[in-house]
Structure 1
Amino acid sequence: MQMTKFCDHLYDESTDGYIQILKIDDKENNGEKTIKIYNTKNDGLREIVEELHKKDDVFLAPNTMYLPKRRVENIRQFRALFQDIDCESMSLEKAETVYMIWLLHYEGKIPKPTMVTDSGRGVHLYFRIQNAPYGALNTWQELQDYIYYNLKHLGADRRATDGARVLRLPGTINSRCDTNCKVLYIDNDIEYSMYELREEYLNYKPKTHQLQMQQVKKIDNKVICNRFFNSYSLHMERANDLETLCRLRKYDMTGCRNMALHCYAYWKGIYIRDAYDLENVVIEFNNAFTEPLKETEVQAILRCIPKAIEKFIAYEQGIRSGERKRVTKGMRDKEGYWYKNETLIDRLGITSKEQKHMKTIIGIDEKYDRNNERRRAKRRNEDGLTKRQQDKLERLNSIKVLKEKGLNQSDIAKELGISRQAVSKLIKEL
């Protein structure tokens, strides 16, 4: 059965978390759209999908959630990379599209899909991966954007590139074109590792060398990944920093609300690609302010985000695919919205005290303080002592042992190879 094959390909005994299924009906409630939501674990999934066999407009989330609420921040396991291709919008036949996808694979541009389904108006591609937790979000998103970037000319949908996306379930009907959704191809012998895909397709150095990668003056098209962040993870942490700032101020952001909401919408938009979901997240954030922005102001901010995200993907994936060179003279020439820390600190009025709670939005003084703190920590052993303090402690212990043996200060000095005055001074500390 189509639905069972589909479920068995994505979910097995290693599956953890909730799998969400949506059933959309436009005919009930006097023509108003209704959505029935199912949240199930793997052991109850197949029973539900069998009930929905040959029903209209059923969607399923390939990745699982740790809460029965489908949001990117609730992801429990990444089970697959995927892409929704609306080939009809590009005047392409499905068979022609699938053929061109296979050509891209044989040319080394994309991995081989592990499953292809007919969505009614196009095709869905799946790339089954070894399940990974939410902490792998930035790696998953980079790979997802890479696949989208290389399939964009075939009708790939950018809105279907976030981790909480739902796609049509095979064995059901697409009511928009009255077409059966079905599995066209499946290979259960392939399961990818995201880190291996990253090395092969994103021009990363091997995982074992990631911690040694440093930014150097000679810039090539290798992805720059310093000890802390790359472009994707930086945006995620900056959104977290902004949330921290709001909590510190008890959401009194008067004077910088527009800038705060603009940055938040963009940084969150790197991972939340569905316009409706992003709008809800941004409105929720705005409503938490002591004085929220007007709805018209929020909508004005949101209208700018999709185009900026498209530019971000084009810039980042252009580098990863080797099609373009990295901009090296500051952030102002990068595509998308890139703000230097100095700009963010100024526009948001972030104090030095507030910076101590941040991970990425910090000034030069705070950066130096953290570097000095790291250096001091490195100089200390597991007991918290510097080399000089440890040597002194060992010398004191040696003097104590020799003194207990009945040696005088001159003999102790001779035994330890130091002056008698030094021994006398140390004995006073015993």
Structure 2
Amino acid sequence: MQMTEFCDHLYDDTTDGYIQIMKLNDEHNGEKTIKIYNTKNEGLRDIVEEFHNNEDVFLAPNTMYLPKRRVENIRQFRSLFQDIDCESKGYEKAETVYMIWILYHEGKIPKPTMVTDSGRGIHLYWRIENAPYGALNTWQELQDYIYYNLKHLGADRQATDGARVLRLPGTINSKCDIDCKVLYIDNETEYSMYQLREDYLHYKQKAHQLQMQQTKKIDNKVISNRFFTSYSLHMERANDLETLCRLRKYEMTGYRNMAVHCYAYWKGIYVRDSYELENVVIEFNNSFTDPMKESEVQAILRCIPKAIDKFIAYEQGIRSGEGKRVSKGMRDKEGYWYKNETLIDRLGITIKEQKKMKTIIGTEEKYYRNNEKRRVKRRNEDGLTKREQEKIERLEIIKNLIEKGLNQSRIAKEIGISRQAVSKLIKEL
């Protein structure tokens, strides 16, 4: 049965966490109702087989550590995927699959391990060695890379987050009354995300994430960060903002608009479904002691999709070999590239608050952390600097020489220092 074949391709004995199945039921009072099932791998096939030939059944390709489907709850990444609405671009399904294989042979994208007919388009899957939530940055960057190379065929940006559900083969798409089915499957191939990262993102450790091309003195200038990619930086900044709110006991009056604006954008890098992102941002706003009006939050949310599109176009354009130029206009309009100084000023972040943050820090805190790292690096396993360790070793040598009956002059000659230095050291024994 196609449903079992589909499940066996994505889930096996290494699967851990909850797999969500979502069933849209007939309209009730003008709206469809949703029935949600969460199961472990052992019970998955029994559940999906009950939906054979049912309408509008969806399944999550990645698993959750809690029976609640959200990006932050991801337990395992099981695949990369793309939802291609090829008919919206005027392409037939067979024609679209052919063009996808051309892109694979040209080295633009990896070869899909499974292709399914979703009714009005196709779904592509790339089975990967399972990876935990900590691999989110790499997974999202690969997902966006593939999306960027397939968007001309109708790839859906909203279907590029880790918590997405896609139509289950063996069921029916009620919008067009077409059976969803598996078109192609390769059970021999399983990708490593980190190999894909090297092959398609040209990823190197301490990778340069932003390229600046200027027409004057410097042709290619790269802004780099040793610790973060652009993707991980956005996630950590969202975490920093949550930390800031906790430190202030959610008293954000005077800073609410900037906080909600930044949070919606940073979260939107990973939460691509507009409905889910809206819920996340409203939840964040409602945590304030004095929340913004819902209409104000909605106004902010309307600006986010375009900014995310610009972010993806810039980031993945670099990885696809396009020359990109960071300009003031881009920082203002094509994605929000706020400097730390701007964030500190507009959110009123104090030096004390910066000490609790990972990325939103000023020059003073940055220097303090760098100096602290140097101090730690200078010390050995016993917490001693090289000079302190050498002194202890010298004192031990002097003690042994005294026990052998040598005087200070002989000791000084033996270890190559002055007699006065020996006398001073002896006083510390």
Fold match by TM threshold 0.5: yes
Offset of residue 216 of structure 1: 10
Conservation of the 8 A alpha-carbon contact between 1:65 and 1:75: yes
Q: 1:344 to 1:279 in 2, by over 3 A?
A: same
- After superposition, the Cα gap between the structure-2 partners of 1:194 and 1:127, relative to the gap in structure 1 and judged at 3 Å, is same
Residue aligning to 1:8: 8
Alpha-carbon distance between aligned partners in 1 of 2:209 and 2:33, rounded to the nearest angstrom: 52
Contact 2:212/2:222 (<8 A) preserved = no
Q: Which moved more, 1:340-349 or 1:35-44?
A: 35-44
CA deviation profile, 1:285-324 (whole Å, cap 9, x unmatched): 0010010000000100100000110011011111110122
Q: Which moved more, 1:160-169 or 1:188-197?
A: 188-197
1:313–1:131: structure 2 CA closer, same or farther, 3 Å change rule?
Answer: same
- Give the corresponding residue for 2:275: 276
Partner amino acid, structure 1, of 2:56: D
Q: CA deviation at 1:381?
A: 1.3
Cα separation, 2, equivalents of 1:328 and 1:389? 51
The aligned residue for residue 117 of structure 2 is 118
Instruction: Indicate yes or no: 2:23 matched with 1:18.
Output: no
Note closer, same or farther for the CA distance 1:405–1:330 as it changes in structure 2 (3 Å cut).
farther
Secondary structure of 2:189's partner?
coil
| Structure 2 unaligned residues grouped into runs of 5+ | none
Maintained 8 Å contact 1:221/1:320: no
Q: Tell me how far apart the structure 2 counterparts of residues 222 and 183 of structure 1 sit (CA, whole Å).
A: 47
**Number of the residue aligned with 1:186:** 185
- Does the 8 A contact of 1:238 with 1:267 survive in 2? yes
- For the pair 1:47 / 2:46, whether they are aligned, the reply is yes
Paired residue type of 2:118:
S
Per the alignment, residue 159 of structure 2 pairs with: 160
State whether structure 2 residue 258 is matched by structure 1 residue 259.
Answer: yes
Task: Give the C-alpha shift of residue 223 in structure 1.
Answer: 8.8
Q: Which stretch shifts more, 378-387 or 4-13?
A: 378-387
2:368 is aligned to: 369
1:330–1:416 Cα change, 3 Å: farther
AA partner of residue 262 (structure 1): H
Q: Which moved more, 1:331-340 or 1:361-370?
A: 331-340
Per mean C-alpha deviation after superposition, the further-off stretch among 236-245 and 413-422 is 413-422
Contact 2:54 2:171 in 1 (8 A): yes
Contact 1:220 1:326 in 2 (8 A): no
Letter in 1 for 2:67: P
Q: CA contact under 8 A between 1:57 and 1:172: conserved in structure 2?
A: yes
Tell me the distance in 2 between the aligned counterparts of 1:224 and 1:185. 42
Between the aligned partners of 2:419 and 2:101, the Cα distance in structure 1 is: 83
1:398 is aligned to 397
Matches within 5 A, 1:22-421: 22-27=22-27, 29-205=28-204, 210-211=205-206, 226-327=225-326, 332=331, 335-421=334-420
Q: Secondary structure at the match of 1:255?
A: coil
Distance in structure 2 (CA, Å) of the matches to 1:223 and 1:195: 23
Deviations 1:165-189, CA, capped at 9 Å, x for gaps: 0000000111111111000000011
Q: Measure how far apart 1:414 and its partner are.
A: 2.2
The superposition leaves residues 229-276 of structure 1 with CA deviations (integer Å, 9 ceiling, x where unpaired) of: 011111011001101111111111111000000000000000000001
Structure 1 segments unaligned to the other structure (5+ residues):
none
Distance 1:231 1:221 in 2: 18
Equivalent position amino acid for 1:293 in 2: M
**Contact 1:380-1:386 at 8 Å conserved across structures:** yes
Taking every aligned residue pair, what percent have the same amino acid on both sides? 83
- Does structure 2 conserve the Cα–Cα contact (< 8 Å) formed by 1:20 and 1:60? yes
The secondary structure found in structure 1 opposite 2:146 is helix
Whole-angstrom distance in 1 between the partners of 2:167 and 2:272: 17
What RMSD over aligned residues (CA atoms) do the two structures have, in Å? Answer: 2.1
CA shift at 1:406, angstroms?
Answer: 3.0
Residue 19 of structure 1 contacts residue 65 of structure 1 at CA under 8 Å; is this kept in 2? yes
Q: Is the CA contact (8 Å cut-off) linking 1:85 and 1:157 kept in structure 2?
A: yes
**1:109–1:376: structure 2 CA closer, same or farther, 3 Å change rule?**
same
Partner of 2:81, secondary structure, is strand
Pick closer, same or farther for the CA change 1:114–1:221 going to 2, 3 Å: farther
From the superposition, tell whether residues 217 and 320 of structure 1 become closer, same or farther in structure 2 (CA, over 3 Å). closer
How far the C-alpha of 1:427 sits from its partner, in A, is 1.4
TM-score w.r.t. length of structure 1: 0.94
Give how far 1:195 is off. 1.3
